[in-house]
Structure 1
């Protein structure tokens, strides 16, 4: 058996209570929508920051790779003596 009240038996107080429930449900839905939009905006901000950091990290790693390659070339050419070895050691410690 259903708890629904037939429309003909609905009192004005019961109708008012139903309208109050409807209003509260609409307010809850609006609040949930605002919360959802806030979370989506924050997620997008974090995603953009992560992408920026990945690009920054890739650039830094590429710069370290270039410096290591130069240090290797210097070591091979022996034009700078132990400076290349010291540079490579310093760069490897940065990792």
Structure 2
């Protein structure tokens, strides 16, 4: 256990001792103010960090919603491409339905090949016709 320093009776204090006490009080008040300011600064940084976290979470939510909308658009586009491929295969190529593994390029290539075959047949038939 620590012992308290011997107390000086108030009537026996010199002005120098009293000035030293006031200086010590001012020094301690300054230290307390510095500690309070440091703690307020840390609290402010935590407050900013919490605000930054809330802003980041809001941004993530917006990006997630945007991603979901984009994925839906891509799914709709894929569906539209499937319908277009089916239409191209049935109406242009004369196929009842394109095979699932056929790409759009394959369907167009088949249509071009069929067109060229038709043109070749027409040219051959025209050449076989007797002149009138």
Same fold, TM-score > 0.5, yes or no: yes
Q: What number of residue pairs does the alignment pair up?
A: 73
| Partner Cα distance (2:24, 2:83) in 1 | 88
Structure with max Cα Rg: 2
Alpha carbon RMSD of aligned pairs, Å?
Answer: 2.2
Ranges in structure 1 where 5+ consecutive residues have no aligned partner = 1-7, 80-95
- Structure 1 match to 2:109: none
Q: Deviations over 1:30-65 (max 9, x none)?
A: 111110000000000000111111110000000000
Please name the residue that 1:55 is paired with: 68
Q: TM-score, normalised by structure 1?
A: 0.70
Cα deviation for residue 18 of structure 1 reads 0.3
| Distance (Å, rounded) in 1 between the aligned partners of 2:46 and 2:88 | 62
Q: Which runs of 5+ in 2 are unaligned?
A: 6-19, 93-132
Structure number with the bigger relative contact order (C-alpha 8 A, sep ≥ 6) is: 1
Q: What is the rounded CA distance, in whole Å, between the counterparts of 1:68 and 1:43 in structure 2?
A: 37
